[in-house]
Amino acid sequence: MAMTNKEIYQDWCEKHPEIPLFLQYDWMATIAEPQQWDVALVGAKNDVQAFMPYFRKSKLKFEIITVPPLTPYMGPWIQYPEGQKEGKRLSYEKKLMEELIDQLPKTDKFIQYFHPSITNWLPFYWRGFQQSTRYTYIIDDLTDSEALFQNLQGNIRREIAKAEKSLSVTEADNVSVLHQLKQKDYQIKGQEINYSSAYLNRVYAKLKEKNACKAWVASENGKPVASLLLAWDADSAYYLAGAVDPENKNTGAMSLLMWTAIQFSAGVTNQFNFEGSMIEPIERFFRSFGAKQTPYFEIRKTSSKLLKLL
């Protein structure tokens, strides 16, 4: 019996740990039920040329391919032949991306955030997709701790020094505090978190099983005031989630936790990715850590005429 795309994808990911975390089979199988996701794939077992996982959901009777919670990047992954020249590479990308697009189910709307390593979206443009540029911040060299600290803006260094005097940072063996703090912050803002405690626990448990995450809690006199969840793959660490008690925002806790995560990341991978934000105060905070602004693509297409009107 021939293997399904999912089975080929799973087998390929098991053999290729260099595939980015959020494009791996285990990630998709953790964050979505089997019927909620699938993968477009070009190639065969032991010879996969390209794949593109996608997550589907229904909203107001519309079928949408969209971005699951806690998943900053998706999009295509391509296996390139060695020594490929630039012109050949672009032709190769066009061919494979077109084949992946042809396999996508017809939906009312499509939206994904492509991994920053994807710099060519023209094949999607030629098929009627649109693009917006988003930004993340990446520290691409973690080897020199002293240089990293000097690259921090002065206000961040002062916040870290202040926090170290009054806060204690401990490693957490669960993410319950993180979710509680995030829920408290969102409630004050009159907003809702787009994932449940069970969802966050499931993600944490799977990453923990793969030795690919760590959580910390910053406390003042025994009271948790902030928490951070870090995840990583072979190439990069990712600030996956964080929260500060809205009643203790001036303690410098998140600056201290972020610095803790950056220092830890140096021992497990090559880069640190803040995952970016288009929200001005958050962007300013990430930028203050001396990271490099890095663009990535938001790719979208609305096929439903009614949804376009709405």
**189: amino acid identity, one letter:** K
- Is residue 310 predicted with pLDDT exceeding 80? no
Measured CA to CA, the distance from residue 213 to residue 171 in angstroms comes to 11
Average pLDDT, the chain: 95
Q: For residue 309, what pLDDT band results from cuts at 50, 70 and 90? A: confident
| pLDDT score of 25 | 98
**125: amino acid identity, one letter:** Y
pLDDT digits (tens, 9 = 90+) for 249-306: 889 999 999 999 999 999 999 999 998 778 888 899 999 999 999 999 999 999 988 8
Q: For residue 59, what pLDDT band results from cuts at 50, 70 and 90? A: confident
| pLDDT score of 26 | 97
Question: In a 10 Å sphere around its CB, with 0-12 CB exposed, 13-18 middle and 19+ buried, how is residue 113 labelled?
Answer: buried
Alpha helices in the chain (DSSP H): 5-15, 25-31, 86-103, 122-125, 145-151, 154-166, 176-189, 197-209, 253-265, 280-287, 305-309
| pLDDT score of 276 | 73
Classify strands 109-113 and 236-244 as parallel, antiparallel or unpaired: unpaired
Measured CA to CA, the distance from residue 11 to residue 29 in angstroms comes to 13
Distance of CA 57 to the CA centre of its chain: 19
| pLDDT score of 279 | 85
| pLDDT score of 140 | 94
Mean pLDDT, residues 118-132: 97
CB distance 100 to 92 below 8 Å = no
Measured CA to CA, the distance from residue 61 to residue 57 in angstroms comes to 10
| Domain 141-269: assigned CATH number | 3.40.630.30
Q: Which of 229, 225, 280 is nearest to 250 (CA)?
A: 225
| pLDDT score of 268 | 97
Measured CA to CA, the distance from residue 242 to residue 177 in angstroms comes to 10
pLDDT digits (tens, 9 = 90+) for 16-45: 999 999 999 999 999 999 999 999 999 999
Count of all residues that appear for the chain in the document = 310
Q: Is the dihedral of CA 45, 50, 55, 61 positive or negative?
A: negative
For the chain, how far is it from start to end, CA to CA, in angstroms?
A: 45
- Is residue 133 predicted with pLDDT exceeding 90? yes
- Is residue 1 predicted with pLDDT exceeding 80? no
- Is residue 93 predicted with pLDDT exceeding 80? yes
Longest dimension (CA), the chain: 63
Q: For residue 308, what pLDDT band results from cuts at 50, 70 and 90? A: confident
| pLDDT score of 164 | 96
CB distance 78 to 35 below 8 Å = no
Q: Which of 73, 86, 76, 83 is nearest to 123 (CA)?
A: 76
**5-135+296-309: in CATH 3.40.630:** yes
User: What is the percent of the chain where pLDDT is above 70?
Assistant: 100
| pLDDT score of 239 | 97
The first and second tokens of residue 4, run together, are 């399904």
| pLDDT score of 193 | 92
Q: Which residues pair with 133 in a beta bridge?
A: 297
Name the pTM for this structure. 0.94
| pLDDT score of 98 | 98
Q: Which regions of the chain carry the CATH code 3.40.630.30?
A: 141-269
Mean pLDDT, residues 42-62: 94
Q: Which of 238, 22, 35, 33 is nearest to 114 (CA)?
A: 22
Q: Which of 300, 298, 302, 291 is nearest to 115 (CA)?
A: 298
Mean pLDDT, residues 182-191: 92
**CA distances from residue 271 to 32, 50, 77, 143, 228 in whole angstroms, order as listed:** 27, 24, 19, 9, 17
